[in-house]
Structure formats: structure tokens, C-alpha cells
Amino acid sequence: MVGISHVHYVLGDYKPLTEIPEMDTSKENLAKFRINGVRQYCGSDKTMYQLALETATATLEKSGLDRSSVGAVFFATGNHHCKELHEEDFAGRLLDELGLGSAFFYGVFMQYCASVAAALQLAGQFAEANGTNVLLVSADKILDYGPIVRIIPGVIGLHSDGAVSCIVTGRNPQFTMTPFQTLQDSSSWRLMYGQEKKGLQDSFLTNSRLVISRVLEANNLPKESIHHVVTNNFNFTISKNLSVYWEIPYEKFFSLNIPRTAHCPAGDVFINLLDMKTAGIISRGDSILTFFPAPHSWMGTLLTKN
């Protein structure tokens, strides 16, 4: 079965909310973030290419793979407007510097933080179909326009700079991965831009629950057998809502980084997974319910530690 190995990530420097450009530093505004557990974000002076190259190099070095055994690189980003992607040969340069000159390069842009999930799904299919190793890389650089984002008009969120990488392979992966369960509902964009916050939250909870149910049913796994839940760095309140709505104890939702760090679209799931592994939280045989959401895309899979 295909899976992932040698996860690595690179984040920017930890910075307090008060250092965010254009941030309203009034007590009232800062309280809105802190109530939800967000204390800091990660900003980097490195370019998106530099972040991607650094994490990809580390993954390849940790894997010890012969470069010729890597048949493809799947690259994901939510920052599709980044000048580097348009003004420089991002793909050719990355492949050359990684020593992967004969590998295929595929760029994936789906929607925000679902991009890396789509890339992982496609990389798994490619690895399985071709019997090869695949390098997955995802990077996001938010400081082109500042860490403050407004996906929903009137609602402020925070993003962090970072990049993640791993090897997707069918050859003794560290974590096996089941086929993805997915759901698309593009009609929710009307809720987003109509500022229907309650409707958007209801849509998110309902659709996420449906995807989670599909993952469990496909793997014949009762909720009681789930050891961990790994997802994006939502604010504290949303995580608690998911726990209640999915009927899974909140203690199983991983939250190692305290104070909480603002969401990194490049791949919170991979960041949190590696933090769990490093901290010794994951044991052999553990079932890890893994969920990647975006405003109108929901994707889930089950990882098992080998």
C-alpha cells in the first residue's frame, strides 16, 4: 500500500501578533485572536523557492534515496499568483538543484490549503501506477501581501510562511495511506462572499462530517478505534466544534504548539504529523484520521503508523 515517509517542514521565524504589519493592535482586536488560541505567526525573509528547496533537500537527504528512483515531483501552493512562479523557471530550477533532472514535475493548485491534499492524492496514484517514488513539496509565501487574509469578507485570518515535503511511496512507507474520500461544494462561494458566516460554518461542519464518515466506513473503522485526529491549525473554537460535531473526543485532536501558530497553507497536517512523531506521541499501528479542508473542498484519508 502506498504511503508517506521522511516528512520535513520549514517555517519562518515565530513573531508575535503585535509585529504584524497593518495589524490593529488594540486590546479588543488582539483579544479576538487570543480567545481562539492564536498567539503568533511565522514570517520568513526567504522566498517561496528557497523555502521549497530547503525542505525538499532535507527530505531527500533523510530518505537516502538514489535520485534516479524519484520519478516525479508534485508541487502544491495556494499562492499561485507568486511572481517566482511566473517570472522564473521554478520547476526546472528546482529539479536541477535537487538532482532530479529526469523526473516529471507537476504543479497543483486546487484551493487554498486543499492544494497540498490534492497533490498528495495525485502523487499517491502516480507512485502506485508507476511503481516509483514521488517527492511531494508544498510551499506558501504570504508576506507578498501580508499575513492578514480575508477569505470571508469582514473576517480576518492569519497565515504563516512555510514549506513541507515528504516521499510518497509504496516501498515500506513510514505511514500507509488509504484512498482519499473527497467532497466538493463550489456553491459555498456564495456564502463566503455573501458574508453568510453562519451558513458557511454549517456547510463546513456538515460536509466535513460527511467526509469523515466516508473515511471511517471505507476503512471499516469505528470512531473508538481512532488514536489521533490531525488537521489544519484552525482556531481553538472551530476544533472544539469539530470534536462535538464528529463525536470524537477533543483530546484526540492534536495541538502540540502552544501558543498556537497561525495557519500555514503549505501543510499544517504534515507539520503537526511530524511534531507528533518527534514528540513520541504516535505508536506503531496507530490510526490517524487526517482531514484537509478548504472553503468549498473537503478531503480526508486514514494514515497508519508502520
For 101-132, write each residue's pLDDT tens digit: 999 999 998 777 789 999 999 999 999 999 99
For the segment 221-249, the average pLDDT, to the nearest whole number, is: 81
Q: Is residue 257 very low, low, confident or very high in pLDDT (cuts 50, 70, 90)?
A: very low
Same domain, 163 and 187: no
Instruction: Compute the distance between CA of residue 59 and CA of residue 11 in angstroms, rounded to an integer.
Output: 15
Instruction: Compute the distance between CA of residue 117 and CA of residue 104 in angstroms, rounded to an integer.
Output: 19
In sequence order, the β-bridge partners of residue 162 are 11, 140
Instruction: Compute the distance between CA of residue 206 and CA of residue 212 in angstroms, rounded to an integer.
Output: 10
Q: Which residue range is the domain that position 55 belongs to?
A: 3-169
Same domain, 116 and 195: no
Write down the pLDDT at residue 41: 78
Across the chain, what does the average pLDDT equal? Answer: 84
Same domain, 149 and 101: yes
Same domain, 159 and 182: no
Please state the domain count of the chain. Answer: 2
Exposed / middle / buried, residue 187 (Cβ in 10 Å: 0-12, 13-18, 19+): exposed
Write down the pLDDT at residue 205: 82
What percent of the chain is modeled with pLDDT above 90? 50
CA dihedral angle for residue 149, residue 22, residue 155, residue 266, rounded to 10 degrees: 20
What's 283's domain CATH number? 3.40.47.10
Q: What does the DSSP 8-state code read for residue 164?
A: E
- Point out the domain boundary residue: 169, 203, 225: 169
Rg (CA), the chain: 19
In this structure, what C-alpha cell is assigned to residue 178? Answer: 488509504
H or E element: which one contains 63?
Answer: helix 48-63
Write down the pLDDT at residue 161: 87
Same domain, 111 and 259: no
In sequence order, the β-bridge partners of residue 64 are none
For the segment 226-244, the average pLDDT, to the nearest whole number, is: 75
Write down the pLDDT at residue 68: 96
Same domain, 132 and 152: yes
- Point out the domain boundary residue: 108, 137, 169: 169
- Point out the domain boundary residue: 169, 197, 222: 169
Same domain, 141 and 39: yes
